Structure 1
Amino acid sequence: MSISDLAARTRSAPPLPLIAALALTGGGLALLVFGATTERLTSPAKAAVALLGLGLLLAGAARLGRRWAGPGFDVVFWFGTGWLVLLALAVVCAPWLPFGEDRDVAASVAEQPFAGPTFTGGHPLGTNAFGLDLLARCVYGARSSLLISLSAVAIGTVVGGLIGMVAGYFRKTVDRVVGIATNSLLAVPPLILLIALATVLEPHLRNVAFSLALLTIPGMVRLARATTMNYAGREFVTAARAMGARRSRILLRELLPNVLLPILSLAVVMISVLIVAEASLSFLGLGVQPPEPTWGNMIAEGEGRVFEEHPHIVLVPGAFLFLTVFAFNIVGEKARLRWDSRSVQL
């Protein structure tokens, strides 16, 4: 959109919707700051005020976005993207940020255990039973969860994508063998498979990532196979075969660029699935072991009466887990819709 078109739209639009959008945005931001910094309210009241401010801020941002960027502006998508960017920056810069102690119990002896969230001070999200800072543990837990899930998705995408492309292009015996192996993996319940692998392998980041990668391979194989079969009969593949191109060149140069987009859109969604799977393993005590923080073993700290008396022990890592999974789902769905629209145009 050019500057002249933007100026014309601004002059022609009625001022009242703009004022209402600015009022919603400003009011939501003010409530969000007030709920996060005030000392006059209890922790549940602070959280309620902050959530109300966040809702108003998103509503105002949605109106402003649709006004300046058109009706296709999706505030939820940009909120999810912003959360993922903020989380990634916090994970990368964690060693240099002024966080409290996240795992050394001896260094937190003087800290108050089960301190509630204050959103200010040295422990803005509170502490656990050992006085460890929950914000620091959530950020370092995100490092473990994201490292495991991204590694598992990368392994599953590469291995499953290549196997699916080979099966979809060569068909016949290769396709039958791959189909039997894929259906065999799908026949085993995922949680049972993970528990069985966790009892055999040591609970190390590498082993957990390898176990979770097995969950992604069957889906990637099926998607890559179906997409390859869809494009294998197209004119450009037939022309490359008629010109004497080798099979490896056809797979890598002609088919891979068309298979890559749907595979990547599924991979983004699978990241959220594997984050939940890793948290489930850690919650059951079969994943990464304490004192190494992950969202799963942090939630497990709230078992029994701890959750009744100190709900923030579960709610804080649960909020990080929910927002991250929600953001990956939104981004992956947006990528899938864009891929579908591109496929229709082609």
Structure 2
Amino acid sequence: MAVLELERDVATEAPVRRPRRVGMLFIGSVAWIVLIGLSAIFADWLPIQSPTDMDLLAKRAPLFSPGHILGTDHLGRDELSRLIYGGRVSLLVGLLAPVIGVIIGGCLGMVAGYFRGRLETFAVGGVDVLLAFPPLVFVLAVTAFMGQSVANITIVIGVLGIPAFTRVARAVTLTLSEREFVTAARALGATHSRILMRELLPNVALPLLAFFLLAVAVTIVVEGALSFLGLGVPPPTASWGSMIGEGRENLDIAPWLAFLPAGFMFLTVLAFNVIGDTLRALTDPRPGAL
């Protein structure tokens, strides 16, 4: 009787595991990314003007002007249209460049963390060399040799992101390679490729996904900085960074030309950071889990 009462008391005092909630900030961030993404994808079918059409009689039109809800720039181009088409460039580079890093860096980090030895030494050494190389000099060299285009900027930023993904994948693999499920797979005679693909990859993919979203936010800022410096996509193609650079010259008479693209970039980067942090918290493995 006493044993039953003790078990009942323990069951009553046991904490109830509640599901984690994402919160309104996460939902708002997802809604903003969806809005910007759909606007960029379907920009050609939206009822907006061309981002390259100039109206010299309506230069620097203020906000909520007739026919230009967000005004015009110093050449009379519609600001709303340029923001939408600029978002297409920023999101394209921001999403594709980390893909290069996560594929190459993820594979390299997993292989280095699993096999270790000389392979790990070679991989870590190569990553350190790439990190030691000045990124701005690398961008200048590539753009001078291959020209300024969306593809070249994407490749350059993607290559510069390989070391970060390599380190993340290697650190997670080092932690998981000695866990019980990997040891059990080895004991059952599983090959190295099977362990990497079936046991380690699903567990490494979740941290890489969370880091990928954070890398997208960083890449958008990097692309904007390169465009601001004149190293991004060439004009008349619009991007948020180039729009900030053009609006810098009109801060005294038309400050919205710089603040609007800066605000769009800020909200987009913040949204990706919130989504990445939330997914990282949700996918964080519990201590002691196999």
Asked if these proteins are the same fold (TM beyond 0.5), I'd say yes
CA gap 1:270/1:130 in 2 versus in 1, 3 angstroms: same
Q: 1:152 aligns with which of 97, 103, 108?
A: 97
Q: Residue type matched to 1:103 in 2?
A: T
Q: CA deviation at 1:250?
A: 1.0
Q: Does the CA-based 8 Å contact 2:60-2:76 persist in structure 1?
A: yes
State the secondary structure of the residue aligned to 1:173: helix
Q: CA deviation at 1:83?
A: 0.7
Paired residue for 1:336?
Answer: 280
Paired residue for 2:251?
Answer: 307
State the secondary structure of the residue aligned to 1:77: helix
Greater RCO between the two (CA within 8 Å, min separation 6)? Answer: 2
Paired residue for 1:115?
Answer: 61
Q: CA deviation at 1:200?
A: 2.9
Q: 1:173 aligns with which of 105, 110, 118?
A: 118
Paired residue for 2:35?
Answer: 86
Paired residue for 1:294?
Answer: 239
Paired residue for 1:279?
Answer: 224
Q: Does the CA-based 8 Å contact 2:168-2:208 persist in structure 1?
A: yes
Whole-Å separation in 2 of the counterparts to 1:71 and 1:303: 44
Q: CA deviation at 1:262?
A: 0.2
Q: Residue type matched to 2:222 in 1?
A: A
Deviations 1:22-60 (A, max 9, x none): xxxxxxxxxxxxxxxxxxxxxxxxxxxxxxxxxxxxxxx
CA gap 1:131/1:345 in 2 versus in 1, 3 angstroms: farther
Q: Does the CA-based 8 Å contact 2:106-2:166 persist in structure 1?
A: yes
Q: CA deviation at 1:328?
A: 0.6
Q: CA deviation at 1:72?
A: 4.7
Paired residue for 2:170?
Answer: 225
Q: Identity of aligned pairs, percent?
A: 42
Deviations 1:280-336 (A, max 9, x none): 1111111101101001111111233x1111101101111111110111111111111
Paired residue for 1:95?
Answer: 44
How many residue pairs were aligned?
A: 271
Instruction: Extract unaligned runs of 5+ from structure 1.
Output: 1-69
Paired residue for 1:216?
Answer: 161
CA gap 1:258/1:134 in 2 versus in 1, 3 angstroms: same
Q: What's the Cα RMSD here?
A: 1.8
Paired residue for 1:124?
Answer: 69
Deviations 1:213-239 (A, max 9, x none): 122211110110111111111222122
CA gap 1:71/1:213 in 2 versus in 1, 3 angstroms: closer
Paired residue for 1:161?
Answer: 106
Whole-Å separation in 2 of the counterparts to 1:148 and 1:73: 27
Instruction: Extract unaligned runs of 5+ from structure 2.
Output: 1-18
Q: CA deviation at 1:92?
A: 1.8
Whole-Å separation in 2 of the counterparts to 1:134 and 1:180: 47
Paired residue for 1:241?
Answer: 186
Deviations 1:242-264 (A, max 9, x none): 22222111111110000000001
Q: Does 1:319 align with 2:263?
A: yes
Greater alpha carbon shift after TM alignment, 254-263 vs 79-88: 79-88
Q: Does the CA-based 8 Å contact 2:20-2:282 persist in structure 1?
A: no
Greater alpha carbon shift after TM alignment, 74-83 vs 284-293: 74-83
Per the normalisation by structure 1, the TM-score is 0.74
Q: CA deviation at 1:73?
A: 5.9
Paired residue for 2:3?
Answer: none
